[in-house]
Structures are given as C-alpha cells and as structure tokens.
Structure 1
C-alpha cells in the first residue's frame, strides 16, 4: 500500500461518523437504511460519507433495489493494518522503544 492510499484512508477515518460507520460494518454488511437509523444525519449526508469511504477503498457497495448495501473491503483494510503494524517508535538501538 502506498503512502497516498494510506493518507486517503486516514483522512476518511478522521471523521467520527465515518469511523463509526466502519466500526458498524466490521460485523458484516449493512443496508444504508440501517446506517441512517444509527446517525442523526440526512440521506444525502450519509451518501457523502459513503462516497468518501468507497473512494479510499475501505468500503464496497452493492445495489439492491433502491437501497445500497455496504461492507468493508477486507483486502484494503488488511493492507492498511499491515502498514500501521509496520510503524514503530524505536528510540534506542534495541528497537523495543526503550
């Protein structure tokens, strides 16, 4: 995963509503109507949040009738997790942060 992709994901997750949406999707696909029930936002605002999450690759969408169903894009999430796990805060020669 390149740094541009990571930056887009970090920017997307920098909004508390989008972070909560990702948390909700972590236990499986959700209809947009279920996401709207959780938040006190309008449908256009939800669409804006979902567009950002989809554009950075964290979320994928599936249309069913008039509703969109959202789920996490596991490959992107795993690549982001690996990037974060690869960061360290080494202060000494030992590499254990001490």
Structure 2
C-alpha cells in the first residue's frame, strides 16, 4: 500500500527514507493528475534534502536500485527467524524435562 497519504504520514513522523521510497514509487506510476504529480515531485525533493541533511545517502529514485538493500534486509530477517525457531525448539525441550 504505497499511497501519497502514507508518504505524508512517514514524512511527518520523520521516516524520511520510507517516505522517499513511496514518493519514488508514486513518481514512477503514470498519473494524469498534474497536482498529484507536482506534490509527489516536491515530496521527493524535500526527502532528498532531509535525508542528506541527516547524513544518509539517498538510495535512488527507482525501485530497481534498492534490490540489493532489500535482499540484505530479507536475508537478515530470515536468519533472525531461523534463530528464533531454534530458540523455541530448545525452550520446548527444556520445559518438557
């Protein structure tokens, strides 16, 4: 659910990278509404400035450029899930004794 409203919420809450990703996604979508397109473009520019001000690199305006970062996140989550599952098995064995 990548919507303009969600991007605005992330922006207000200070989640600039997440807002930037949504604005980028929306920018790639075809829209006939010029007002929405202008707001999306302005949002992208604001997020770029805020992210750079925080000292972070902007990941890129296109989802393809974020694939390696997303894969890394996915792998990290998979490892954590595996560890958690092993922990649950050990815990259940200890409780059975």
Q: Check whether TM > 0.5.
A: no
Q: TM-score, normalised by structure 1?
A: 0.39
Greater share of residues in strand: 1
Q: Could you say which structure has the larger radius of gyration?
A: 2
Between 1 and 2, higher relative CO (CA 8 Å, sep ≥ 6) is seen in 1
Greater share of residues in helix: 2
Q: TM-score, normalised by structure 2?
A: 0.39
